[in-house]
Structure 1
Amino acid sequence: MTAPTIDTPEEITAEWVGEALGAVPDSVRVAPVGFGQIGSCLRVSLAGDGLPPSVLVKLPTADAGTRGMLVGAYRSEVSFYRELEPTVAVDVPRCHLATDVTDDGRFTLVLEDLAPAEQGDQLRGGTPEQVRGAAENLAGLHGPRWCDPALLDLGRITMQDAEGADLLASVYGPAIDTFLEITGPLMSSEAATTVRETQDVVVDWSLARAERFGIVHGDYRLDNLMFSPDPAVQVKAVDWQTLSLGLPAKDLAYLVATSLDAPARRACEEAVVAAYHRRLLAHGVTGHPLEECWDDYRFAMLQGILVSVFGCAYGARTDRGDRMFAVMVERTAAAVRELGTLGLV
């Protein structure tokens, strides 16, 4: 279907829905959902034949200056649904409409409403069962395009290179300072020390193991996962604005470490990695034994610290956000120490 790009909830009319979904509703009701820090997400309830009960509409932020800086993130998500999603096996919401993203950041996405599925809670953490299901779903993103050379020609998503590593070297230290200033009172001194120790290795880490690559979600964690009571499709992944190419285990380590406190992670992580690995093999991956997968998982643990440091230092601050990033790093730092991650770089 096609429909014009819109900017405001007021433009979600019955006529516009008809163009987007192919049937004109008898009534339309619009309500905001989620936090909307880099855009807005609206639940559109519909009445009429040939239509779902509701859909979600994603729009960019209303602030033109901020919107312009987020063009890359918006294009990442749109290109995922239009170009990449048909080539992988990860469970995601059905996309009804994905318009082009203009140079000033205007776009419109219309997605399946996953209710009554519930969003994971990063602060509370997940259960081992949820994490395992999410890891198996993650293999559906990584496996079908594992080390696919065609990915290197996409342009929109890229591997880390020397220029990117130089930029990382220049900004990571100041980001750590800001992060610890914000979260210091919320974390243990042991976790803060581990964060400081990552500064010496993070650049080499970001370039290492480039021989194994795939599509990396970049923020595959509980807040971006929807859990359903339906045993056929228990988890679907959302928010595809941070895509890159890189070591696939970065998504896996990030998921496990940020979702579980240390005792729960220790008790289940080997089983979770094994379940993920079995699904990789089912999606056609070869030449990647379980031992290598486990070693990549250990190595990739810095992802949780890196993403959290930058998210906290440069993102819009909220009380929940401060506490969330502190919890994510506390959990991940424990995994980094226990699994000997720094010694693998």
Structure 2
Amino acid sequence: MTLDIRDWRKIDAPWLSAALARRGIDAKVKDFTTRPVGTGQIGDCVRFTLTYDSAPADAPTTLVGKFPADGEASRATGVALWNYYREVKFYNELQATARIATPTCYFADVNEESHDFVLIMGDLSPAEQGDQLAGVTLDQAKLVAAESAKLNAAYWNDDSLNERPWVMETENAPQSVPPEMFPVVWDQFVERYGDRVSDAARHIGKHLSTSMEAYGELRHGGPRALIHADFRPDNMMFASDKGGAPITVVDWQCFAYGPPAADLGYFVAGALTAEERRTHGDGIISLYKAELARQGVADYADDMLQKHYVIGAYQLFLTAYFAAVMVTQTERGDNMFFRMLNGGVDLITDHRAEDWLA
């Protein structure tokens, strides 16, 4: 059977059997059930629970599929920003050499014109999805720091990424969002949320949204590496009391060739409280740098690493306000975006970097 791109509601048993065959699993799916999983804002995930007519002992009993979002605004954003296209390209071309822990991919394909896509992955349960609102433990933060270093080291100053225009921030990457759109979206964000936006956030948002050229120049100083660019708990699976891998990183829709430690700053600012970050941040950065060295990278100067770390907080702030306006609005989404936005503000101001773009 030739696998095609289809809505998850139209997937049938022969289609799933063919997807398994792509990974060398000779199994005949008899029947299956589905249920939504995860809290994605741009894509929708569905768990397929399988029963077989025949299958080898190692055939999975569950799979997870990712598909375009049902929400019209979220789907339009995923298409406009090339998120769906980019994620399929990651699994098909970069996953094998990325070093970072990622899900098994059974099938990934995207329509080059419509950006409709299907991504079928191994089910990571009993590991559990991280929660941006709940934050993470210190042990989990240390795991994340090490995984970030592995990803960065895999493509450290690797200019061959410039040959892939679907990697953001490469020389040939298209400009998916015109600079003049950022202040418009910022004004919409402030209008929508009013007094919920602090004075410090208003100051940073005004300067950031109207200084995208300066922000871009800031991001391109020093070494570069492949970064996840949406490196937060909701895009990670952690081992639970019932088991699962220690950490697996998912949601590869936004990766870029950018400032390496930006992922770490993005994560720490959004996933730890300000007090936790002030107490443990230096130790997490040291762990990250030590893992980089183990992975073969020893030329990341401390001052440049710190600069990139703070740039990650700016990126977190930018992602939060832009996504809050552009995706389908939900109560959880609003709370999550403000956790991200305010975490970015705290890290930026702690490093006296609020006027870097002024």
TM-score (norm 2): 0.86
Q: Which moved more, 1:283-292 or 1:307-316?
A: 283-292
Alignment pair present for 1:151 and 2:161:
yes
Whole-angstrom CA distance in 2 between matches of 1:208 and 1:194: 15
Deviation at 1:24, TM superposition (A): 1.0
Specify every segment of 5 or more residues in structure 1 that has no aligned partner in the other structure, as ranges: none
Matched with 1:40 is: 44
Mapped contact 2:91–2:105 kept (Cα < 8 A): yes
Give, in angstroms, the shift of residue 330 of structure 1: 1.3
Paired with 2:103 and 2:119, the residues of 1 have a C-alpha distance of 11
- The one-letter code sitting in structure 2 at the alignment partner of 1:88 is A
- Distance in 1 (alpha carbons) for counterparts of 2:66 and 2:114: 16
Matching of residue 216 in structure 1 with residue 255 in structure 2: no
Q: Report how far residue 262 of structure 1 moved.
A: 0.9
Shift of 1:287: 1.8
C-alpha distance in structure 2 between counterparts of 1:2 and 1:279, whole Å: 43
> Is the Cα–Cα contact under 8 Å of residues 131 and 234 in structure 2 kept in the other structure?
yes
Instruction: Label 1:107 to 1:246 Cα distance change in 2 as closer, same or farther (>3 A).
Output: same
SS of 1:324 mapped into structure 2: helix
Name 1:138's counterpart in structure 2. 148
Distance 2:342 2:75 in 1: 32
**Cα distance in 1 between the residues matched to 2:95 and 2:244:** 19
Q: For residues 185 and 322 of structure 1, do their structure 2 counterparts lie closer, same or farther at Cα, with a shift above 3 Å needed?
A: farther
Alignment of 1:2-81 (within 5 A): 3-9=3-9, 11-22=10-21, 23-35=27-39, 37-48=41-52, 49-50=55-56, 51-61=59-69, 70-71=78-79, 72-81=82-91
- Residues 6 and 107, structure 1, Cα contact 8 Å, conserved in 2: yes
Counterpart pick for 2:100 among 86, 90, 100: 90
- 8 Å CA contact retained: 1:178, 1:313: yes
State whether residues 160 and 207 of structure 1, in contact with CA within 8 Å, keep that contact through their aligned partners in structure 2. no
Distance (Å, rounded) in 2 between the aligned partners of 1:171 and 1:293? 29
Percent identity for Structure 1 against Structure 2: 30
TM-score between both structures, scaled by the size of structure 1: 0.89
Instruction: Give the CA deviation at 1:335.
Output: 0.9
Q: For residues 274 and 144 of structure 1, what CA distance do their matches in structure 2 show?
A: 19
Higher share of residues assigned helix: 1
Distance 1:111 1:2, change over 3 A: farther
Post-superposition CA distance 1:235-289 (Å, at most 9, x none): 1111111122211222111111011121011011111111111111222223213
Write the mapping of 1:1-345 to structure 2, written as runs, cut at 5 A: 3-9=3-9, 11-22=10-21, 23-35=27-39, 37-48=41-52, 49-50=55-56, 51-61=59-69, 70-71=78-79, 72-159=82-169, 164=175, 167-168=178-179, 170-199=180-209, 201-210=211-220, 211-229=222-240, 233-342=245-354
Contact 1:191 1:334 in 2 (8 A): no
Q: Is the 8 A contact 1:88 1:141 kept in 2?
A: yes
Output the CA distance in 1 between the equivalents of 2:205 and 2:75.
Answer: 31
Alpha-carbon distance in 2 for matches of 1:118, 1:73: 24
Moved more, 176-185 or 266-275: 176-185
- Which residue type is aligned with residue 135 of structure 2? G
Contact 1:138–1:252 (8 Å) recurs in 2: yes
**Residue pair 1:300, 1:341 contacting (<8 A) in 2 also:** no
C-alpha contact (below 8 Å) 1:176/1:309 kept by paired residues: yes
Query: How far apart, in 1, do the equivalents of 2:175 and 2:280 lie?
Result: 35
Q: Distance in 1 between matches of 2:344 and 2:187?
A: 18
Give the Cα–Cα distance (whole angstroms) in 1 for the partners of residues 340 and 100 of structure 2.
24
- Aligned-partner Cα distance in 2 for 1:343–1:183: 23
Is the contact between residue 118 and residue 226 of structure 1 (CA under 8 Å) also seen in structure 2? yes
Q: Which amino acid aligns with 1:152?
A: N
Whether the 8 Å CA contact 2:263–2:309 is kept in 1: the answer is no
Aligned residues: 343
- Are the structure 2 counterparts of residues 343 and 40 from structure 1 closer, same or farther at C-alpha, using a change threshold of 3 Å? closer
Residues 74 and 328 in structure 2, CA contact (< 8 A), matched pair in contact too: no
Partner SS, residue 91 of structure 1: coil
Q: Give, in whole Å, the separation in 1 of the partners of 2:116 and 2:292.
A: 36
Q: Is the 8 A contact 1:40 1:58 kept in 2?
A: yes
| AA aligned opposite 2:194 | G
The 8 Å contact of residues 125 and 222 in structure 1, kept in 2 or not, is answered as: yes
Q: SS in structure 2 opposite 1:103?
A: coil
CA distance in 1, matches of 2:8, 2:240: 33
Cα distance change on mapping 1:184 and 1:258 into 2, 3 Å: farther
RMSD: 2.8
Q: Provide the C-alpha distance between the structure 1 equivalents of 2:137 and 2:94, rounded to a whole number of angstroms.
A: 29
| Equivalent residue letter for 1:157 | V
